[in-house]
């Protein structure tokens, strides 16, 4: 079933056949996988590994939904708000887990320890890297969340400032995920010592790569932008005509 979903969604996006539906189907599938990793008892993973896995699948779902915005942000579009909100929540948790300090809000002691200890030993200023990653994720959370919390005047659903703010959040999220991938998650020696399955380790690395790619190239898909925005404009014209 998983292979069939991958084939359907990838074919839909690459051939431009129902691209928006394909992205949403893929995002729903990623959310389902996040749920399984978090709560399915048959997986048998420790809680900290469940959290790591679920967060990465949630990040991929958020990044995929963000593709539908095509680098823009409009409060009148529900999926713009869902993508930014989901990405912001994941960034908030990753930021708290990555900061090398004892925080008031403790999500998971063991998950945080692995985030801190997994950095490559030969990286200079390893402690500083944690601060960069943590602040990048926390600032991304603020930039994603602020537009969702502000109520615009009646009749105004779009703000250039909000679009720039969410675009900045995308860049900060990419920085956080990129450094997490390069400095921590490809440290195979550490994760092998922690008895993380070879299959799971490579899957999570691939998920992070696709998450970064989804955010980076999402705004560079003109065909998707033309389709989604054209439909929105057509709906808006019909509303005005009525």
Q: What is the pLDDT of residues 24-68, one digit of tens each?
A: 888 888 999 999 999 988 888 898 899 999 999 999 999 888 877
Q: Which residues contact 85 (CB under 8 A, 6 or more apart)?
A: 144, 145, 148
Rounded CA gap, 3 and 93, in Å? 30
127 belongs to a structural domain:
yes
| Residue 3 pLDDT level (bands cut at 50, 70, 90) | low
Range of the structural domain that residue 196 is part of: 21-233
5 belongs to a structural domain:
no
Quote the pLDDT of residue 53.
Answer: 93
Q: Residue 210 burial by CB count (10 A; 0-12/13-18/19+): exposed, middle or buried?
A: middle
Q: Write down the residue that tokens 């996988």 correspond to.
A: 33
7 belongs to a structural domain:
no
Q: Write down the residue that tokens 């967060």 correspond to.
A: 55
139 belongs to a structural domain:
yes
Q: Write down the residue that tokens 């928006």 correspond to.
A: 20
Q: Which residue has the higher pLDDT, 137 or 105?
A: 137
240 belongs to a structural domain:
no
Model confidence over 174-207: pLDDT tens digits?
999 999 999 999 999 999 999 899 999 999 999 9
| Buried b / exposed e along 103-124 (16+ C-beta atoms within 10 A) | eeeeebeebbebbbebbeeeee
Quote the pLDDT of residue 10.
Answer: 61
Q: What is the DSSP letter of 104?
A: S
Token couple for 41: 């008892």
Q: How many CB atoms lie within 10 A of CB 189?
A: 10
9 belongs to a structural domain:
no
54 belongs to a structural domain:
yes
**pTM recorded for the entire structure:** 0.81
* Count: domains in the chain: 1
Quote the pLDDT of residue 89.
Answer: 93
CATH of the domain at 229: 1.20.120
CB contact at 8 A, 75 and 147 = yes
Pick from 135, 141, 35, 139: nearest CA to 87: 141
2 belongs to a structural domain:
no
């Amino acid at each position: 079933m998983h292979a069939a979903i991958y084939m359907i969604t990838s074919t839909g996006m690459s051939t431009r056949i129902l691209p928006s539906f394909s992205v949403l189907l893929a995002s729903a599938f990623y959310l389902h996988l996040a749920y399984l990793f978090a709560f399915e008892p048959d997986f048998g993973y420790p809680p900290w590994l469940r959290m790591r896995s679920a967060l990465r699948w949630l990040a991929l779902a958020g990044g995929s939904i963000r593709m539908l915005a095509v680098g823009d942000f409009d409060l009148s579009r529900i999926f713009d708000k869902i993508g930014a909100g989901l990405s912001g929540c994941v960034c908030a948790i990753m930021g708290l887990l990555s900061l090398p300090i004892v925080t008031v809000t403790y999500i998971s002691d063991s998950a945080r320890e692995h985030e801190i200890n997994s950095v490559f030993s030969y990286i200079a200023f390893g402690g500083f890297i944690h601060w960069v990653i943590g602040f990048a994720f926390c600032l991304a959370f603020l930039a994603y969340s602020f537009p969702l919390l502000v109520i615009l005047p009646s009749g105004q659903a779009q703000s250039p400032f909000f679009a720039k703010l969410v675009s900045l959040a995308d860049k900060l999220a990419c920085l956080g995920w990129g450094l997490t991938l390069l400095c921590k998650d490809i440290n195979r020696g550490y994760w092998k010592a922690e008895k993380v399955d070879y299959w799971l380790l490579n899957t999570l690395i691939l998920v992070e790569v696709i998450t970064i790619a989804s955010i980076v190239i999402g705004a560079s898909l003109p065909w998707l932008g033309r389709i989604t925005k054209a439909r929105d404009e057509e709906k808006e014209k019909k509303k005005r005509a009525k």
